[in-house]
Amino acid sequence: MTGFGRGEATGPGGRCTVELSSVNRKQADIDLRMPRDWQALEAGVRQLLAGTLSRGRLHGVMTYETAVEATSTLRVDDALAKEYAAYLAQLGTALGSPMVMTPEALLRAPGVFNVEGREPAPPEVLQPMVHSAVTAALSAWDEARTREGAHLFADLTSRLETLRQLLDQIAGEAPKVAPLHRAALHRRLEEAGLPLPLDDERLLKEIALFADKCDISEEISRLGGHLTEFQRLMTSDTPAGRPLDFLTQEMHRELNTMGAKANHAAIQHRVVAGKTEVERLREQVQNVE
């Protein structure tokens, strides 16, 4: 299920910001991006995130801002610079060729210019701050997913009710199929000049074979069971994305069979409408963890 959460925490010398975002995916995957020198913290962060989703891709970005703008200071060793200049002048005198210390040479002279900076805090010191930011981001992310889940639940419930209504209509039309076929067959025989009494054995046998062939009572029962199970899984406390996806496939299968067996226009029209709703259900189920 998609969601986004952001968390912050302050610690030694700075502030950590964590952003978590998730997208739909069949398998569970956690992708983390953090400062390069925080590798020692990755295992602990993954432990915090482990088990938060059963399927989907969770992407986390962690950044760190230092509290002090300038963390480095330039130090110049004046005495050492004077020694370099003095020895260079003495060497020039000894060689009979004046030598002058240029700024470029002074910049390259070892030990004259030094950049002193604060050492970064070790990972074990930063760990409480990082875990606090991750926990805050997880909380915000979970709240976002809860809000989306409520909208998703309402949509799935509405489509499930539409399917139930279509199934009730199909169940109401199913008993009419055989009598309608019998009347149509009798009418065609009369139009062909071959009238038969309604209790003729051959006519009754034909009607019986047709009724057995177009009987969809089992499919109606199984589809009703799938709808009930779908509703149960929607209110379950355990991850139900995969079982729901499987149920939509079975619903589609039952409706296909109904459409193939029931030689009745009204039933086939409702089958088409039902398959459309099942396809929409299946699309939404991809968002369910």
DSSP 21-61: EEE--SSEEEEEE--GGGGGGHHHHHHHHTTS-SSEEEEEE
How far is residue 252 CA from its own chain's centroid? Answer: 24
Q: Specify which of 16-20, 33-37, 71-75, 190-194 reaches the highest per-range mean pLDDT.
A: 16-20
* pLDDT exceeds cutoff 60 at 192: no
pLDDT (average), residues 180-207? 61
Residues in the chain: 289
Would you state the pLDDT for residue 202?
63
Q: Domain limits of the chain?
A: 3-68+123-143, 72-117, 145-285
Q: Given pLDDT bands bounded at 50, 70 and 90, which one contains residue 70?
A: very low
Residue 257, SS3? helix
Range scoring the smallest mean pLDDT among 48-62, 112-126, 252-266: 112-126
Q: Are 150 and 288 in contact (CB under 8 A)?
A: no
**Mean pLDDT, to the nearest integer, of 137-165?**
91
Going by pLDDT thresholds of 50, 70 and 90, the confidence category of residue 217 is confident
Separation CA 162–CA 164 (nearest Å): 5
Q: CATH says 3-68+123-143 is which class? A: alpha beta
Contacts of 261 (CB under 8 A, 6+ apart): 213, 214, 215, 216, 219
| Helix 42-49 vs helix 123-173: crossing angle, to nearest 10 | 30
Q: What is the pLDDT of residue 275?
A: 93
| pTM metric for this prediction | 0.61
Which pLDDT value is given to residue 67? 67
